[in-house]
């Protein structure tokens, strides 16, 4: 007997990952009815979506709901009768930097609205929620690798990561019976070059930042394979009510500089031809290599495309890029790169206008920014075997077997059923806090318990959220305040990451006011 047709509600379909997911779902053997949420504004991407899927829209295979993710009525209409909800919607940089209030509305309030609607539904659809690598914050050569349970230190002033942090925790602590959270890595998509040549955001990427690139295509394949697998052979505790990192092929683990280098090879140059060492931030970015990225691959076999394949496809699709090879590199740098340094989101602009808060967040201070070397020969590029303190073996650093784990106070390799109250207490103690609850049934990671932070604040959270997903309450969970300088002095888990790129003598608080203006002050 043929299986009954399923309905899948999808948000964020006009975004880069959303387009790839739609390509895969419309081609899937499941032949699902797709109900999609699109903003009421008639944008270029919305028009392109309707044109691309005109036939399916006319037949009813694709149903459009117009509205905002933070609008309960629109969300209720979206999920009504759905078997699955795939939440891809997100306001990401640079728009989240330019319009932070939109990030709050979509990434945070939107997630809360969606969760409330699913909780109230009967029967409940299953939720796949896309989160982000940005939750891990800045990493450098000391801790290039991360796993799902690592501490979440979202970078100061990054409203995108702060709102995604709060949205993710809402899902984890919800009454939804079947949810899965997938933290998306750095993503290669067809609009990447065009998007990154519009804004000073390109100067936020640290040249030595670890980046694990997954293509939009492979991300789309992953979502399709999850749905196909669950429909035909329902998944259990190996997937639902779990958090995963969306990993990629080993060769896709590179650095920020290598990424720029690969891109500029299309026009016959290198990263050094178009950038100088002082152009880009040295900290306050987000990027890691995933030590546990294989787990989704083992379940759903979606990793197929290398970064080299991606760049080859871009070159094939945009042959005119090769014409730039005949243009003097100095002219390209002046017209494209130097021009973007004047953008309000660029470090050179912060220096010119005296934005000490951002210079401190991204460089350590104005003096540190001014002291960056002018020549590449004097800048330690990790991919060339030069670290902050001398020579390093870059190939050894890239070997997952040499990953340096974060000590979260308990044995993270324990099976869930073996977790005891002693593990909860140890995890809390490592954060400088304590477990308030006096009882815990061994292995029960989903019944909420009470914890006390290093500041004495009591909060309620599931053991899974803390031990397995890395959440630990601080002010960033309720407002745009980043005070990790102070917290790291009390929190041994935070300290392991924070002090890789921050001085122990730093005493700063980064925040944003109610009208989303950045603030910077000493403790």
Please report the pLDDT score of residue 59 as a whole number: 96
Mean pLDDT to the nearest integer, 219-229: 98
Residue with tokens 């991919």: 383
Which percentage of the chain shows pLDDT scores above 90? 88
Digit-coded pLDDT (tens) for 394-439: 999 999 999 999 999 999 999 999 999 999 999 999 999 999 999 9
Nearest of 465, 473, 405, 475 to residue 433 by alpha carbon: 473
Mean pLDDT to the nearest integer, 44-71: 95
Digit-coded pLDDT (tens) for 456-509: 999 999 999 999 999 999 999 999 999 999 999 999 999 999 999 999 999 999
Which residues have CB under 8 Å from 188's CB, separation 6+? 213, 214, 215, 216, 307, 310
Lowest mean pLDDT among 110-114, 196-200, 411-415, 443-447: 196-200
Please report the pLDDT score of residue 263 as a whole number: 87
Which residues have CB under 8 Å from 434's CB, separation 6+? 425, 428, 451, 452
Report the distance separating Cα 19 and Cα 302, nearest Å: 17
Digit-coded pLDDT (tens) for 153-204: 999 999 999 999 999 999 999 999 999 999 999 999 887 776 777 899 999 9
pLDDT at position 1 over 50: no
Please report the pLDDT score of residue 3 as a whole number: 55
Digit-coded pLDDT (tens) for 256-284: 999 999 988 887 888 999 999 999 999 99
Please report the pLDDT score of residue 164 as a whole number: 98
Mean pLDDT to the nearest integer, 135-142: 97
Tell me the average pLDDT of the chain.
94
Burial of 338 (0-12, 13-18, 19+ CB in 10 A): middle
Kindly report the pTM of this predicted structure.
0.96
Sign of the C-alpha dihedral computed for residues 449, 455, 456 and 458 taken in this order: negative
Nearest of 421, 414, 222, 228 to residue 305 by alpha carbon: 222
């Amino acid at each position: 007997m043929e299986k009954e047709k399923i309905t899948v509600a999808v948000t964020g379909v006009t975004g880069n990952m959303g387009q790839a997911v739609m390509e895969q779902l419309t081609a899937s053997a499941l032949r699902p009815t797709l109900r999609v949420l699109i903003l009421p504004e008639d944008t270029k991407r919305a028009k392109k979506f309707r044109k691309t899927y005109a036939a399916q829209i006319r037949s009813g295979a694709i149903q459009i709901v117009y509205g905002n993710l933070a609008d309960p009525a629109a969300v209720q209409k979206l999920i009504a009768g759905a078997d699955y909800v795939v939440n891809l919607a997100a306001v990401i940089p640079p728009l989240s930097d330019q319009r932070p209030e939109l990030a709050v509305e979509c990434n945070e309030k939107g997630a809360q609205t969606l969760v409330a609607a699913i909780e109230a539904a009967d029967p409940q659809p299953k939720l796949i929620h896309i989160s982000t690598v940005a939750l891990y914050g800045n990493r450098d050569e000391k801790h290039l690798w991360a796993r799902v349970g690592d501490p979440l230190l979202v970078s100061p002033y990054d409203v995108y990561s702060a709102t995604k942090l709060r949205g993710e925790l809402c899902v984890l602590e919800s009454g939804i019976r079947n949810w899965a959270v997938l933290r998306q890595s750095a993503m290669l998509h067809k609009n990447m070059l065009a998007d990154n040549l519009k804004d000073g955001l390109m100067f936020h990427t640290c040249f030595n930042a670890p980046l694990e690139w997954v293509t939009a295509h492979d991300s789309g394949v992953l979502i399709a394979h999850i749905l196909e697998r669950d429909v035909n052979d329902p998944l259990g505790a190996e997937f639902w009510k779990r958090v995963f990192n969306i990993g990629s092929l080993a060769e896709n683990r590179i650095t920020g500089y290598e990424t720029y280098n690969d891109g500029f090879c299309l026009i016959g140059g290198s990263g050094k031809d178009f950038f100088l060492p002082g152009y880009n931030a040295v900290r306050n970015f987000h990027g890691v290599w995933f030590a546990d990225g294989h787990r989704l691959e083992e379940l759903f076999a979606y990793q197929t495309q290398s970064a080299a394949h991606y760049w080859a496809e871009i070159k094939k699709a945009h042959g005119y890029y090769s014409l730039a090879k005949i243009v003097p590199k100095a002219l390209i740098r002046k017209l494209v790169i130097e021009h973007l340094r004047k953008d309000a989101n660029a470090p050179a602009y912060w220096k010119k206008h005296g934005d000490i808060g951002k210079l401190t967040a991204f460089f350590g201070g104005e003096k540190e920014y001014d002291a960056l070397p002018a020549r590449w020969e004097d800048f330690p590029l990790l991919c060339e075997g030069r670290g902050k303190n001398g020579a390093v073996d870059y190939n050894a650093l890239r070997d997952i077997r040499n990953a340096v784990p974060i000590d979260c106070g308990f044995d993270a390799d324990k099976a869930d059923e073996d977790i005891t109250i002693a593990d909860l207490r140890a995890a809390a103690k490592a954060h400088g806090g304590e477990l308030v609850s006096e009882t815990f049934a061994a292995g029960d990671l989903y019944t909420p318990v009470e914890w006390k932070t290093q500041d004495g604040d009591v909060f309620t959270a599931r053991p899974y959220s803390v031990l397995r997903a890395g959440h630990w309450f601080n002010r960033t969970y309720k407002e745009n305040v980043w005070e990790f300088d102070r917290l790291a002095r009390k929190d041994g888990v935070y300290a392991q990451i924070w002090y890789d790129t921050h001085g122990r003598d730093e005493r700063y608080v980064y925040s944003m006011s109610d009208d989303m203006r950045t603030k910077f002050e000493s403790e």
